[in-house]
Chains A and B, each alone.
Chain A
Amino acid sequence: MTIVGKTNQSARFRRSRWLMTLLLGLYFVYTFVPIWYVITSSTKTNPDLFTSFGLWFASDFHLWQNLYDLFTIQHGIFRIWLWNTFYYSLVSGLGAAVFATMAGYAFAKYEFFGKKFVFALVLGAVMIPQTALVIPIFLLLSKVGLLNTPFAVILPQLVFPFGVFLMRAYIDEAISDEIIDAGRVDGAGEFHIFSNLGFRLLMPGITTVFILAFVASWNNYFLPLVVLNSTEHFPVTVGLAQWYASAVSGSGGALLFTVVMAGALVSILPVIIAFLIMQRFWQGGLSAGGVKA
């Protein structure tokens, strides 16, 4: 990669380099416009949102008032939504990562009866349309009285087949059979070997699966939309979508437009910042998935 740049510094090469950078720059503008739009819109008053230019600030800087409204409207329900999203994502992310790691370890390091079949079953699960699962889950949860509780969102999300697939690939590569055999020679039990490997060798993989499961849960909309109906259990996605629908249809009052924008800003910034900080992990995870596939 760098070899090319160092050995070939002709004018033609430099020109094509600027050209390619320009191409990337254009796409960057496209990527950034919606994010820029939410930033400028959250700083406006509702009338300014309609009259001032969408991609620039209005003369009246109204961000603090919008944030104040966002966190106080409907008795501060937005704070509860943020907390719910965080709590659902954290619990399902942790659970999904632990269970996927154990399952991935079994697939990577053991031969057992039915291995191929079970793994094919897990992979096939990716193809199932959401509605095919969510409709019966809704009916079953209502039978056991778990509908409209945090469990209804968290429990189904503990199943993260893609994480099993990733962990199998990761463990195949990161943990040699020799280490495990050495443990066996020392007389350690199978579970003992696994838990001792845990923090040193499995951690990067676990972290990656955790981040992916966390984000999947953070972004989830369909499942919570169906299984929850009281606003105090909503995650941000369902709550904001409801505000948005009422703002668009005009039934929620004009105030809501800028509040929805502020809500969108507040709910995407932490994830974007977390992504920037933890890029090593998610990039590693996606690479494993892509290369091994």
Chain B
Amino acid sequence: MTDIAIAARPRRARVIINKKIAPYIFLLPFLLLFAIFLIVPLAYALNLSVYRSALVGGLRFVWFDNYKRAFTDANFWSGVWTLFKFGILQIPVMLILSLIFALILDSGVAYARAFFRISFFIPYAVPAVIATLLWGYMYGPAYGPFAQLAGVLHLAKPDFFNDSSIIPAIANIATWEYMGYNMIIYFAALQAIPMDLEEASVMDGASAFTFAFRIKLPMIVPTIIVTIIFSIIGSLQLFTEPYLLINLARNTINSHFTPNLYAYTLAFIGQQYNYAAAISFVLGGVVAIVSYVFMLAANRRVSE
């Protein structure tokens, strides 16, 4: 039908876009918005970060003073340290679970695989706000099911909100939310590996899970690296979960618990937009460096 339409009106004046300019026209709407809501705000924030507002004299150009302050700000680095502890715990636990379940689902050594695949993914559809709210209730010392169970068994009530337990408590929420998402990505990568390899190994008598582990796992290493990088980026931006748990864990979660929380507090409670902008750029630098170093290390490993 479309062919006829093209053939039937060959002479109608139509703006035929040149092959050379066409890509720019296709890109235009996206890039326009990209510029307005990404490039311009970033440039603006960069500009903000080299000024300081003083009570007397208003805005003053201060070069890199805000950055100097950030580099020596104990509040900022304690937030980075929290993220480090969080990431080093949460990312491996989550991704190893994702990988094990993806391998089990892919190698077929379990029943009801489609059911498990879909249900593990469901938490991804639950907004982080609601996931935090649900776990927050369940962690509750007065009425949470864990506290209730401990009461029935005459055990000490678990405290999810003290200094040593708050990071695992948040890590648990994040794992609950994103394990299935990463599992689906691994599963898809495993499924994309051609079948003939598999048939060959069955004839060799290799058991299905060993085969998956020894032969298929190394083949999805690039996918694993990408998920690790995305998890690092996600972890370094931790905000929603601790922000909502503040009311439950007043003694452990302070206003600079994570760098994003700190920047938010500085900007929207302290009105220190300039310093907050500098903080978020330093955090962006940390994200870029960590991702880059990891990528370098991973590439070296792979090429060896």
A115 contact set on B, CB distance < 8 A: 23
Task: Mark interface residues in A11-36 (1 if CB within 8 Å of B CB, else 0).
Answer: 00100111011011001101111110
A-B contact pairs, 22 of them (CB 8 A): A4-B198, A30-B176, A31-B119, A35-B126, A41-B137, A53-B145, A54-B144, A129-B284, A130-B237, A133-B41, A133-B42, A136-B42, A136-B48, A159-B30, A192-B14, A219-B128, A240-B129, A249-B247, A268-B130, A274-B125, A287-B192, A290-B186
A-B interface pairs (CB < 8 A), number? 316
Docked CA distance A260–B133 (Å): 9
CB distance from A222 to the nearest CB of B (A): 6
Asked whether, in the complex, the Cβ of B280 is within 8 Å of the Cβ of A131, the reply is yes
Neighbour of B7 across the interface among A51, A186, A244, CB < 8 A: A186
Task: Mark interface residues in A246-284 (1 if CB within 8 Å of B CB, else 0).
Answer: 001100000000001100100110011011100100010
Docked CA distance A256–B126 (Å): 21
CB distance from A49 to the nearest CB of B (A): 6
Docked CA distance A5–B237 (Å): 43
Of the candidate stretches B84-92, B261-269, B296-304, the one touching chain A is B261-269
A73 at the interface (CB under 8 A from B): no
Asked whether, in the complex, the Cβ of A34 is within 8 Å of the Cβ of B131, the reply is yes
Task: Mark interface residues in A138-169 (1 if CB within 8 Å of B CB, else 0).
Answer: 11100000000000000110110100100000
Of the candidate stretches B58-66, B67-75, B104-112, B162-170, the one touching chain A is B104-112
A194 at the interface (CB under 8 A from B): yes
- Chain A residues packing against B (C-beta within 8 Å): 1-5, 7-8, 13, 16-18, 20-21, 23-24, 27-28, 30-35, 37-38, 41, 49-51, 53-55, 98-100, 102-103, 105-107, 109-110, 112, 115, 118, 122, 125-133, 135-140, 155-156, 158-159, 161, 164, 183-184, 186-192, 194, 196, 215, 218-219, 221-222, 226, 236-238, 240-241, 244-245, 248-249, 260-261, 264, 267-268, 271-272, 274-276, 279, 283, 286-287, 289-291, 293
A33 contact set on B, CB distance < 8 A: 138
Determine which residue in B22, B30, B273 has the highest number of CB atoms from chain A within 10 A of its CB, and name it: B30
Asked whether, in the complex, the Cβ of A103 is within 8 Å of the Cβ of B26, the reply is yes
Asked whether, in the complex, the Cβ of B37 is within 8 Å of the Cβ of A187, the reply is no
CB distance from B104 to the nearest CB of A (A): 5
Asked whether, in the complex, the Cβ of B111 is within 8 Å of the Cβ of A17, the reply is yes
